[in-house]
Amino acid sequence: MSTLILTSIFLSAVLCVTLLLMPQQINAARAFYVFGDSLVDSGNNNYLVTTARADSPPYGIDYPTGRATGRFSNGLNLPDVISEQIGSEPTLPILSPELTGEKLLIGANFASAGIGILNDTGIQFLNILRIDRQFELFQEYQERVSEIIGSDKTQQLVNGALVLMTLGGNDFVNNYFIPFSARGRQSSLGEFSQLLISEYKKILKLGARRVMVTGTGPLGCVPAELASSRSANGECAPEAQQAAAIFNPLLNQMLEGLNREIGSDVFVGANAFDMNADFINNPQQFGFVTSKVACCGQGAYNGQGVCTPLSSLCPDRNAYAFWDPFHPTEKAIRLIVQQIMTGSVKYMNPMNLSTIMALDSRI
């Protein structure tokens, strides 16, 4: 075979590999911003005076470093696994001193455990980054980035970003349903859900190209609810389930309405209820031994109190759907992200994240 032919074959192979890699390289350069509560907090509360924290063992027992990081997980959390799937580095907490220089261009995590859509949600946790404060920090973040790449490129970075927004669950479990709650006394579940949606709509003015908004999971099926007086014989607590059943359709309607107003599919609804319900209702099908008992906790279903070094701890986290009384294990999170990436319109409306990345890489 002649040298010319060999060279031609080699160059063709290089071109094919280059073309295959280009979308991933483009996508990996896309900034990722995370807003929300403990389901997506990667450690901001470590830097705050708050009781809502996950910075001591056994949290992080399966994290690559084996140490607690502030993630409410035995290992990686939802934003971590999404970053992994889109070929990006994990976003650092906005309060982390390590978030400097070029790391700012990857994005940032603004989430804070305990917060909700309403500012009076989570007041029992003292100092947390409420959603208004998260957005203030987002503005400060943009100023920091502008010092590195200039204001025009910063605006391009933000406009082309992928955003994850996870709010709503705490407004029920840490506000409406807590004993002697003013919200619970003043309004019905339907009225309260309408209020949440009205306030949420005001929040969703980010200017990003794509914003993934997660609904609430099956609130009544977490171990904390199974261990409460609201549950009968370890069955999902009906009132909390009703809250999710009212809130989630209203959220979907609101997101669809915003997309119609904009004339583009900016907002993507992630059906966290069904994503979680799949393995909660059929744990063995997904390789779990139980979806009722938390891996770390105490009392009935390990659902009472919080996960601490003194808690009962399961030896095999992969056998459990729930890590602590409220939060899924990394294995369960990976199942959720699988649906975020490739799930049908039942799970991701109007499109999944793989489709989003493919479409946006052409722009």
Q: Which residues are catalytic?
A: 38, 324, 327
Residue 277 tokens read as 């319900």
CA gap 81, 69 in Å, rounded: 15
Block residue for tokens 């319109």: 345
User: Nearest CA to 286 among 294, 298, 277, 299?
Assistant: 277
The two structure tokens encoding residue 8 = 């031609």
Residue 236: closest CA among 209, 265, 273:
273
Q: What is the Cα–Cα distance from 295 to 267, expressed in whole angstroms?
A: 34
Residues contacting residue 175 through CB under 8 Å, at least 6 positions apart: 116, 118, 120, 121, 122, 181, 183
Neighbours of 234 (CB within 10 A): 13
